[in-house]
Amino acid sequence: MADAMKKLLTTLLALTSGWLIFTQEAKAQNIQERIIIRGKVTDASSHMPVIGASVAELDKDNRIINGTTTDIDGNFALKVNDPVNNRISISYIGYKTLVQPIRNQREMNIHLESSSRTLSEVQITAGRTVDNGTGLMIPERNSTFATTTIDAQQLENLSFPSIDMALEGKVAGVDIGATTGDPGAGMSIRIRGTTTINGSDNPLIILDGMPYNIDIPSDFNFGTADEQGYAQLLNIAPSDIKDITILKDAASTALWGSRAANGVIVINTKRGTIGRPSVGYSFKGSISWQPRGIPLLNGYQYTTLIMEEVANAGGAPLDIRNNKEFAYDPTDPYWYYNYSRNTDWIGAITQTGYSQEHDISMMGGGEKARYYASVGYLTQTGTTVGTGLNRITSTINLDYNVSDRIHFRSDISYTHIITNGNYVPNSSYQVRSVAYRKMPNMSIYEYDIYGNQTPNYFSPASNIQGSYYQTYNPVALAKTALNRQVGERVTPRFHIQYDIFPSYLIGTFDVQFDINNSKVNTFLPQIATGRPITEPVVNQAGLSDGDVFDVYTKTNLIFNHNLPDENHQLQALLSIQTDDNKSIAFNEITSNTASSSLQDPASPSNITTSAQTLSSTKAETRSIGIVLQGQYDLMDRYIINAGIRMDGSSRFGPAHRYGFFPSISGRWRISGEPFMKQFAFINDMSLRLSYGHSGSTPPDKPIWNYFNTYSPFSYSYMGMSGVYPSNVELSDLRWQTLIGSNLGYNIWMFHNRIRFDMELYRNRIKDMFYDNIQIPAYTGYNTIPSNVGTMDNQGWEIMLNTIPYRSKNWELGFDFNISKNANIIRSISPYFPRTNIPSITQNGVYKTYLQINNPFGSFYGFRYLGVYKDKESTIARDASGKEIIGPDGNPVYMRFGYPNVNYVFQPGDAMYEDVNHDGVIDDKDIVYLGNGLPKISGGFGINITYKEHLKLITFFVSRLGYQLVNYADMVTSNMYGFDNQSTVVLKRWRNPGDITDIPRALYRSGYNWLGSSRYVQDASFLRLQAVTIRYNFSNDLLNRLKIRAAAFYITGENLYTWTKYKGQNPDQSIIGNNNPFAYPVDNALTPIPIDVVIGLNVSF
């Protein structure tokens, strides 16, 4: 391998050197045509020099050929390649961009006219490049890939604390959804659909050319960790971002190897510019509140319901002598005062949220060195009591020109984040879920025998609702229980560039050290549970501490040269990338600390050790990647890009350790053809075609180790303990491979005022990973991980960016994107389980199947028809509607029938469709109910500008064609136990003849809430994501105040949602990624809040 690489490098250098020697004479012929333009840029009104203005040479296609910036006196010197045909562009913040022909002028004094001053960096769109992070910069108009770039100006004025929130709905093919509105919660990010049934779907993040890991190793065992890895994107401050590029097709992602099969998000942060120092300050302050929640029963309505439930189930009234919660006897003060309330438990744990964010930055520099430094502070209080976020971010970016050929760059970032969440005693009993179920006649605080409220929380060890999770006091949980994550991340990056042959061949070396520590402290105090002090659940403290140390290197050899004939351009890249990742984790849980104030797991009492847990893990993985990529441009019309990547990973055994992933793509610029000259209004019209392979490594779990691991045995023999093999050696595990093809079409017209982009794609995922294949027990193991099947994602994407109206004072902009993705299982291993394990004979259970030619994420159950209004309506009927008569000559009544179940439906019971008309509701009546993957997603926005001072910015987000199981509706309307219910149950069936769609109350019996269409709801929605009014202060005022630029804005976010969904938040996703039978469930987590934001940006 090393010899082959040495030969490849030697050959490439020899060919490059020979070609450069050959072309020097041809290039020399053009040197005499170059001239140096000198000049000065000043303000047209004040005649003061404009420092740091961008001065660029543009060719006939508006591509930037060369560029510089003005010095402290506004002077510039620019060597131009073609002084006859090319033009010069001058731009700066707060001024109108000026473009004019050069015409062999050697001196040009430029006067820039002021516009409203904004803080966004002015960019020449025609000269923008597509940065795929590898180091090969390709002009956007020549890109053969399916990519989308968003600059910082499109993301400003938003209060979102992380990038994923700000990107939601803005890029076609990128589906971003939030499952909770708590501060610091991660979001689900999917680029072109679900790409795995048993691993991470998260895209690869590239930050300033280097991978930025957002996944937390599974060994960390953080109790609330999810697929978003504790929202690691919070470590990147949005105010530091220059631009974001999303790589979507396999040809572009293949260059990044095994972690890029889910797509790539390339993030570039701001850097210093030549000019005097510039100091910027921004402030954002917001107020947040939750949308209206599910209306619940009051104490009287709840009591009436419980009495009816018990009577319907057993025929006898509730015995209030043994269930004093409903006795309301003033002579028994403990029960009377503590159980005679109308408590709004949801209201008690809901609060108004606040946030404030401050960011200070400084940038500047000269010809030798440039710098950018920033520090930011964010504090956020959630709308659920006990939730909040505090974040400190800092960045220092330095660019230094050691000499004309040697350039050095160093970036150092540090982030400190504290996230406070609610304690989660059980996944089905989140704090808000407990509050929804809590009996409303119960008091929050304990009352003494005289009816006086005490400061103590009322947390009985047990009551009629049960014990443990069912009786925890949600207010005490929210205010006194602990679930705090502290994250610290330091990421130094160093880059050195050597111009081997200036402007033709350069070599670069990058190294990144990523040190990431995460700690989670949890504590469940006795005052929230009420359990006896001797139980292990009392004062239970936990600590999870995980460290990741990652070293990533990238060595590039980049060739970028115009051939002697200007009709030919060639770019090439050779890149060698290595990654060494080490992680170590420690987990501890102890109980029975002496006081609820002692929350450290290191100080438990000696009362019990049964609940103590101690564990630690240590892991290391290594990988190497070699990339060879080249792009050839013929006549600026025919462009082809080809590449191949070799990946090696320690996650595989020797037989499959290395994978080879090729890619090829092309672009035909139709607008460059001679027959298109008559259509002068078309700036660019192109067709693109790409094809590529991209590999994935297995999930980061010990069970996927290709080598044998051993675990200690809990028993001893003759006083000695032993070990046993804990996994099967995975010697034949193969790379999961994505094979993607993409057809793209672009048309940009009327000086790029209309930009239309369309993509058609198909991604096939082969050899999918799954870790639960059943094997015979005689092997010593129950399951084995394996490659199991093939899945397709195919669809289309459309993006439209327009400026339909522009006048002297007004400008109207409209942006729109929409995408459709279809997911289909194509093949599956015969050993793969076809359905989930829970039996549908239980209430509240849905069936999920993984079937060939059906989509992933589908769920099945019974079709709900309403309620049996009387005895006659329970008679079974055949397909023609006639009554079914039994052998005894009597009508057959509908029943729920399984081998161990034979329940005859009664008046007031739920009615399910008897699909095969046999009089029995069973497996034969299970039908398809929905799928949790949106068929359509997108967004659109309207921007109105008046005199470049006042702006109105709006944006809408939409997801269509998917269904949710409204579990919150299920548990608040099943009338099955002693939990509180929603006011919808006031319409319940009570007497024969009642016509309603709500069944009767039935305590612990019946089948009134089977997994059915009753709780499956269309979650399609259109949300007004943001409305911003922004005012840019005038130049006259700013000049008097010695301020370069200033703007004030007010923004409303998540203002209104149009949906038929009955819950609070239709924007849910399939969480977990470890269960291929998962489906989206609304568990009544904190809904996305409504925000009002006030912001101020100032630059000095």
SS3 463: strand
Given this model, what pLDDT does residue 152 score? 67
Among 234-243, 686-695, 852-861, the range with the most confident prediction by mean pLDDT is: 686-695
Which candidate, 266, 263, 256, 262, places its Cα nearest to that of 647? 256
What is the number of helices (H) and of strands (E) in the chain? 11, 55
Classify 953 as helix, strand or coil. Answer: strand
pLDDT confidence of residue 482: 92
pLDDT beyond 60 at 279: yes
Q: What is the distance between the alpha carbons of residues 553 and 496, in angstroms, rounded to a whole number?
A: 12
pLDDT attached to residue 93: 62
Is the pLDDT at 67 greater than 90? The verdict is no
pLDDT of 1084: 84
pLDDT tens for residues 123-152?
333 346 677 777 777 888 888 998 888 876
Span 571-625, pLDDT tens digits: 999 999 999 999 999 888 888 888 878 888 877 664 445 567 788 888 899 999 9
pLDDT of 126 reads 35
Per-residue pLDDT band for 535 (boundaries 50, 70, 90) equals: confident
Query: Is there a contact between 623 and 258 (Cβ–Cβ < 8 Å)?
Result: yes
Is a pLDDT exceeding 80 seen at residue 543?
yes
Owner of token pair 């929905």: 930
Give per-residue pLDDT as tens, 698-736. 887 777 887 877 777 766 777 777 888 877 888 889 999
Give the whole-angstrom CA distance, residue 471 versus residue 467: 5
Which pLDDT does position 1069 carry in this prediction? 66
pLDDT of residue 721: 75
- The pLDDT assigned to 229 comes to 40
Q: How far apart are CA 578 and CA 651, in angstroms?
A: 14
Quick one: CA torsion of 21, 25, 27, 29, rounded to 10 degrees?
Answer: 170
Which carries the bigger pLDDT value, residue 764 or residue 31? 764
Q: Cα-flanking dihedrals φ and ψ of residue 327, to 5°?
A: -80, -35
pLDDT score recorded for residue 29: 43
Of 398-402, 673-677, 851-855, 1071-1075, which range is least confident?
1071-1075
% residues pLDDT > 90 (the chain): 50
pLDDT band at 670 (very low <50, low <70, confident <90, very high): very high
**758 Cβ contact list (under 8 Å, min separation 6):** 744, 745, 746, 796, 797, 798, 799
Mean pLDDT of 670-689: 92
CA–CA gap between residue 326 and residue 747 (Å, rounded): 71
Structure token digits, residue 490: 């330091």
Distance CA 438, CA 167 (A): 37
452-457 average pLDDT score: 94
Higher local confidence (pLDDT), 836 or 824:
824
pLDDT at site 216 = 59
Least confident of 196-205, 748-757, 914-923: 196-205
Q: Among candidates 1015, 1013, 1025, which has minimal Cα distance to 1067?
A: 1025
Q: How confident is the model at residue 1024 (pLDDT cuts 50, 70, 90)?
A: very high
Alpha carbon distance 353, 572 (integer Å): 52
* Local structure of 576: helix, strand or coil: strand
DSSP class per residue in 345-370: HHHHTB--EEEEEEEEEEEEE-SSEE
Helices within 915-1051 (DSSP H only): 967-971, 1035-1040
361 pLDDT above the threshold of 60: yes
With a pLDDT cut of 70, the percent of the chain lying above it is 90
- pLDDT at position 1098 is 94
pLDDT range class, residue 1036, cuts 50, 70, 90: confident
Structure confidence at residue 23 as a pLDDT band (50, 70, 90): very low
* Cα separation, 745 vs 506, whole angstroms: 33
3-state SS of 797-859?
EEEEEEEEEECCCEEEEEEEEEEEEEEEEEEECCCCCCECCCCCCCCCCCECECCCCCCCCEE
Give me the chain's average pLDDT, please. Answer: 86
Q: Are 726 and 707 in contact (CB under 8 A)?
A: no
Residue 234's pLDDT is what?
A: 65
| Most trustworthy range by pLDDT among 28-32, 363-367, 770-774, 894-898 | 894-898
Q: Are 89 and 124 within 8 A, CB to CB?
A: yes
**Above 80 in pLDDT, residue 94?**
no
Torsion of CA 268, 273, 276, 279, to 10 degrees: -10
- The predicted structure's pLDDT at residue 783: 84
Answer whether residue 8 shows pLDDT above 50: no
What kind and span of H or E run contains 950? Answer: strand 950-960
Q: What is the pLDDT of residues 285-314, one digit of tens each?
A: 999 999 888 999 999 999 999 999 999 998
Whether 1013 shows a pLDDT value over 90: the answer reads yes
Element spanning 307, H or E:
helix 299-314
* pLDDT tens profile 866-882: 999 999 999 999 999 99
**514 CB contacts (<8 Å, ≥6 apart)?**
212, 213, 489, 490, 491, 548, 549, 550, 551, 552
| pLDDT band (50, 70, 90) for residue 157 | low
Res. 231 pLDDT band, cuts 50 70 90 = low
Report DSSP letters for 403-451, one per residue. SSSEEEEEEEEEEEEEEE----SSTT--HHHHHHHS-TTS-SEEE-TTS
pLDDT score for 4: 45
Contacts of 228 by beta carbon, 8 Å cutoff, 6+ apart: 185, 186, 187, 188, 189, 202, 214
| Cα–Cα distances in angstroms (integers) from residue 97 to residues 94, 112, 752, 774, 943, in the given order | 9, 8, 15, 66, 21
How far is Cα of residue 1054 from the mean position of the Cα atoms in its chain?
A: 17
pLDDT score, position 125? 36
Q: Is the pLDDT score of 952 beyond 90?
A: yes
Neighbours of 1055 (CB within 10 A): 15
| pLDDT confidence bin for 83, thresholds 50/70/90 | confident
